[in-house]
């Protein structure tokens, strides 16, 4: 199969990692079960997948998934509210109501930005 590394190529990649100062860990890749390496930078790396692997405890992982799901749902809700208020704003003629609706959109956009910043930190 084109694109797939042979067994000897994989061993060579692992040897290259060791020569560059990486350390073989007792962990295996959750995707391919290949041994994982700790790079000098501290990152965990799978030589076979050629990807960084993030190790988390199951309890932490469950909390992380729950938090990300909540952030995603909140982001969706805010986007829907912005859309709804924007639709009202399009047809509004009263300057005071336009100002009020604009203020609500501004606050929602600020909250959306905060949620996205929190999501990026995770």
47 phi/psi in degrees, rounded to 5: -70, -35
Residues 33, 66 within the same domain: no
Region 19-41: mean pLDDT is 89
Q: How many domains does the chain have?
A: 2
CA–CA separation, 61 and 27 (whole Å): 17
Threshold 0.95, pTM exceeds: no
Residues 73, 112 within the same domain: yes
Check residue 61 and give its pLDDT.
63
Range(s) of the domain holding residue 34: 7-53
71-119 tens-digit pLDDT: 889 999 999 999 999 999 999 999 999 999 999 999 999 999 998 888 7
Check residue 8 and give its pLDDT.
80
The answer to the question of residue 104 being in a domain is yes
Check residue 28 and give its pLDDT.
86
Read off the pLDDT band of 10 (50, 70, 90).
Answer: confident
Residues 117, 66 within the same domain: yes
The answer to the question of residue 1 being in a domain is no
């Amino acid at each position: 199969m084109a694109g797939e590394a042979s067994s000897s190529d994989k061993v060579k990649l692992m040897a290259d990692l060791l020569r560059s100062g990486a350390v073989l860990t007792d962990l295996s890749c959750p995707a391919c079960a290949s041994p994982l390496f700790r790079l000098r930078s501290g990152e965990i790396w799978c030589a076979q997948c050629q990807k960084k692997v993030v190790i988390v405890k199951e309890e932490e992982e469950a909390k992380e998934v729950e938090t990300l799901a909540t952030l995603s749902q909140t982001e969706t809700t805010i986007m829907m509210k912005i859309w709804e208020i924007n639709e009202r704003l399009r047809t509004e003629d009263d300057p005071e109501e336009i100002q009020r609706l604009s203020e609500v959109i501004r606050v929602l956009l600020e909250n959306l930005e905060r949620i996205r910043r929190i999501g990026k930190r995770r």
